[in-house]
Structure 1
Amino acid sequence: MKKIIVTNTPNLFQMNLEEIEVLTPKAYLTKTELNKLSSARVFNLCNDYRYQSKGYYVSLLAEARGHKPIPSVKSIQDLKAPAIVKIVSEELDDILQKALKNLKSDEFTLSIYFGHNVAKQYEKLCRELHRQFQAPFLRARFVHNKKWLMQSIKPISLSEIPEDHLPFVQEFALNYFSKKRYENVRSTRYQYDLAILYNPEEKAPPSDKKALQKFMEAADKNGFYSELITKDDYDRLAEFDALFIRETTTVNHHTYRFASRAQSEGLVVIDDPNSILKCTNKVYLAELMEINKIPVPKTLIVHSENKKEIAKKLGFPCVLKLPDSSFSQGVTKASDEKELALKLNNMLNQSDLVIAQEFLPTDFDWRVGVLDEQVLYACKYYMAKGHWQIYNWEDKKETTGRYETLPLDQVPKNVLDMALKSTKLIGNGLYGVDIKESGGKVYLIEINDNPSLESGVEDKILKDGLYDRIIKSFKKRIERSIT
């Protein structure tokens, strides 16, 4: 992929490196032959990123041409979001405290040039911030209040860099552009590149190793180069055309940032950030199902003011859920008033809102997989032996119940209909819908983004066809986005 550096001072970045062209903003904006260049990475080192400045239009026009600008217009805007800054500050807390521990003042500003600073003691912090916020030049501000916190971070233009720092910037730039950081040697037979985000250390991953291998085989068959990536590969997302998240998702987590970054870079993403936001919060789902008249167990959204209503409205036993619980973790059962008070108070210390539901004992839960508003598979997940949930996390062996995957013509129509109707309220992504049958009726329990797809379980009926259908969905989405 051709690399283009766009800068107001081309003489600073004449490095005589293969596949790199240095242009002024005017040249990049006016050279019509660049419209025919189908694959290019544009490093925007302009003097100004303000709205409707030349620097702004370099990134905007790069996107229109199908080039990949760094930073993108959306990335420039995203850096202004306080919530993202706060999350990254918390994630990098150990590195941050170590890097700034010897400072005597209560405020500090750090300039980051291609992941470096002129002072070596901030090297690790700069590298991590550059990984999280991909822009050539960044400026971060920190404040000390009992401990160091990142207050803000923003991309800066070349004109904001002190003149005595420019020799260092040139050195960092040469090192940066000399590395083969964006391209691996890939066969020309591949049309597209797919990143599969996973966590090799996760205890209960949504896909096991064999399933991941099946996805990669299906990708290869459908013209994709595929690669397993981890949270350390955040800065490589722009290499790919699509991102498939096979790590348990939550909002306050790197999985959500991966989805958001990938979407802002124009990648096709499953799970998309909107689906993660909606599915991982049970308060949202409870309200959504009630408004749309989809049957659920008797449910109460609990807060400190109405917690005494649970016993009267739901009875005992009842189920308590943290809003962002997954794989039965953060879900518990209360058998009486005393147990309810103890467990509920603990949960309200973690979240201002908690879900309480009536307990519907069943031998199994239906799990219906939905992709592109079509049913993909249907399983019965049986309760763990001697337990009321599919997963028994109290057992040191992490015991799970047995499963049964059925042909769709053997699944009750009202179960399939509920799965399709409920997921249309979320989007057209990949979902796993949990449904209970009780007393001749069906009740929606939850909609999961990032559903389990394990070899020998969800693929029992479709076999390799399950993986093929998911990869084909990626391909269709990519082709729709470029037509």
Structure 2
Amino acid sequence: MKITILHDLIRWEEKALYQASLKKGLDVSLIDIKDEFFDVTKDYDSKFGDVALQRATSYYKGLHSAAIIESLGVKVINSSQVLMITGNKLFTTLKLKENNIATPRTIVAFSPEKAIEAFKELGEKAVIKPVLGSWGRMVALLDSYYSAKAVFEEREYMEPIYQVYYLQEFVKRPPRDIRAFVVGDQVIAAIYRHQPSGDFRTNTALGGKAENCPVTKEIEDLAIKAAKAIGNGVYGVDMMETEKGIVVHEVNGTVEFKNSVSVTGVDIPAKIIDFAIEVAKR
């Protein structure tokens, strides 16, 4: 069986997936999509193997290259449809709502004036996020009218995607959130992500600390439900603990796991490769 790992940057995760593939006796190759061109009028290309893992950090490059490779008859994890949804926070929220999955109250506006009204509707304390983006970049806590007004006005001079004002209520929670790792129909591990001092964001890329989180029935059921709402694949389902229960605020379709392997003791790369083998055989 041949497996390809598609990337635009080789991180610890891509190296670990490569080594896990070798240990299982697979024919595996790393393909940098920046070094390729794709003839979209062609049929099957054996270069991309029986199954491909899409690991590109770029939303646009990952989404479009996945769609092209699928058109060649190759199975891609995660699929272009999944990547389109998980790479866009608004699309993810709509899927969660459609499937009755608890998620923070979210309001979207398309002008600074209406964004201010949305901010007031949320009690003048809210979190603004770019609909596209990862690692907590450009996520801001708005806790006053003047700070919100300044952020909204500044976004009008940025790229058009930042003029989609995606606002979520500020959720009262412990100084941490939960990331559950879903592979296929199983929750294989979970971590707490503790926010660093002086920041409300829990992203490990910003200094958040990972700690093993026991997978309770509530976490397992909610993570599986969120994953199924989007489609079969590999996910990091992000959750917050609230007074009314756990809510899902994001679902990651190109999830990182370097810090999670060490704290959970779970061989996440091996689990992903096992899943890829199953998908290839279907």
TM-score, normalization by structure 1:
0.52
Partner Cα separation in structure 1 for residue 140 and residue 90 of structure 2:
16
Contact 1:283 1:354 survives alignment (8 Å): no
Tell whether the 8 Å contact from 2:55 to 2:254 is kept in structure 1 after alignment: yes
Give the one of 452, 457, 468 matched to 2:260. 457
**Alignment match, 2:129:** 321
Unaligned runs of 5+ in 2: 39-44
Task: Give the secondary structure class of the aligned counterpart of 1:323.
Answer: coil
Residues 212/195 of structure 1: CA separation in 2 closer, same or farther (3 Å cut): closer
**Structure 2 CA distance, aligned partners of 1:260 and 1:333?**
35
What's the counterpart of residue 234 of structure 2?
Answer: 430
CA deviation after TM superposition for structure 1 residue 440, in Å: 4.5
Question: Once the 2 structures are TM-superposed, how far is the Cα of residue 435 of structure 1 from its aligned partner?
Answer: 0.3
Q: 1:399 to 1:426 in 2, by over 3 A?
A: closer
> What amino acid is aligned across from residue 339 of structure 1 in structure 2?
S
* Closer/same/farther in 2, CA of residues 311 and 414 from structure 1, 3 Å limit: same
CA deviations on 1:408-437 (whole Å, 9 max, x unpaired) are: xx3332222111111111000111111000
- The residue correspondences of 1:167-206 to structure 2 (distance < 5 A) are 191-200=1-10
CA distance in 2, matches of 1:244, 1:302: 35
Report the CA distance shift for 1:227/1:459 in structure 2 as closer, same or farther (over 3 A): farther
Contact 1:197 1:228 in 2 (8 A): yes
Task: Check whether the contact 2:127–2:142 (CA below 8 A) recurs between aligned residues.
Answer: yes
Count of aligned positions: 270
Q: Name the SS of the counterpart of 2:238 in structure 1.
A: strand
Note if 1:217 corresponds to 2:19. Answer: yes
* SS of corresponding position for 2:261: coil
What does 1:153-172 correspond to in 2, within 5 Å?
A: none
* 1:38-70 Cα deviation digits (max 9, x unpaired): xxxxxxxxxxxxxxxxxxxxxxxxxxxxxxxxx
C-alpha displacement at 1:353, in angstroms? 2.3
SS in 2 for 1:389: coil
> CA shift at 1:355, angstroms?
1.1
Alignment of 1:49-88 (within 5 A): none
Asked if 2 retains the 8 angstrom alpha-carbon contact of 1:295 and 1:443, the reply is yes
Letter in 1 for 2:277: K
2:107 counterpart (300, 307, 320): 300
Provide the C-alpha distance between the structure 2 equivalents of 1:303 and 1:221, rounded to a whole number of angstroms.
50
How many angstroms apart in 1 are the aligned matches of 2:19 and 2:101?
38
**1:400 offset after TM fit, Å?**
1.0
Alpha-carbon spacing, 1:347–1:439, altered in 2? closer, same or farther (3 Å): same
2:169 matched to 1:367?
Answer: no
Alignment counterpart, residue 338 of structure 1, candidates 138, 142, 146: 146
The CA distance in 1 between the partners of 2:106 and 2:34, in whole Å, is 40
Q: Check conservation: 2:87, 2:253, Cα contact below 8 A.
A: yes
> 1:312 corresponds to which residue?
120
| Structure 2 CA distance for partners of 1:288 and 1:347, relative to 1, 3 Å | farther
8 Å CA contact retained: 1:234, 1:258: no
Q: Percent identity, please.
A: 23
Greater relative contact order (Cα < 8 A, sep 6+): 2
1:274 corresponds in structure 2 to 81
Q: 1:380 to 1:387 in 2, by over 3 A?
A: same
How many Å separate the matches in 2 of 1:333 and 1:282? 17
Counterpart Cα distance in 2 of 1:284 and 1:215: 28
Deviation, 1:463, is 3.7
Contact 1:278 1:426 in 2 (8 A): yes
Query: 2:169 maps to what in 1?
Result: 358
Q: How does 1:359-398 map to 2 (within 5 A)?
A: 359-361=170-172, 362-391=174-203
Q: Distance in 2 between matches of 1:443 and 1:458?
A: 24
Give the distance between the partners of 1:311 and 1:473, measured in 2 at CA: 42
The amino acid that maps onto 1:260 is A
- Aligned pairs for 1:24-35 (under 5 A) are none
CA distance in 2, matches of 1:461, 1:281: 28
Confirm whether residue 247 of structure 1 aligns to residue 49 of structure 2. Answer: no
Aligned residue for 2:133, secondary structure, equals strand
Kept after mapping to 2: 8 A contact 1:379/1:458: no
Mapping for residues 123-138 of structure 1, pairs under 5 Å: none
Question: What are the ranges of 5 or more consecutive residues in structure 1 without an aligned counterpart?
Answer: 1-190, 201-207, 393-397
Q: Would you identify which runs of 4 or more consecutive aligned residues in structure 1 move more than 6 Å?
A: none
Query: Amino acid of the residue matched to residue 263 of structure 1?
Result: E
Cα offset, 1:215, TM superposition:
1.7
**What is residue 402 of structure 1 aligned with on the other side?**
209
Corresponding residue of 1:471: 273
> Per the alignment, in what secondary structure is the counterpart of residue 154 of structure 2?
helix
Displacement after TM superposition at 1:273 (Å): 0.5
CA distance change for structure 1 residues 322 and 232 in 2, over 3 Å: closer, same or farther?
Answer: closer
TM-score, structure 2 length as denominator? 0.86
Which of structures 1 and 2 has the bigger CA Rg?
A: 1
C-alpha distance 287-196 of structure 1, shift in aligned 2 (>3 A): closer
Q: Look up the SS of the partner of 1:330 in the other structure.
A: coil
Change (3 A) 1:231 1:196: closer
Q: 1:366 to 1:193 in 2, by over 3 A?
A: closer
CA distance in 1, matches of 2:266, 2:83: 27
Q: Kindly state the Cα deviation for residue 265 of structure 1 after the two structures are TM-superposed.
A: 1.2
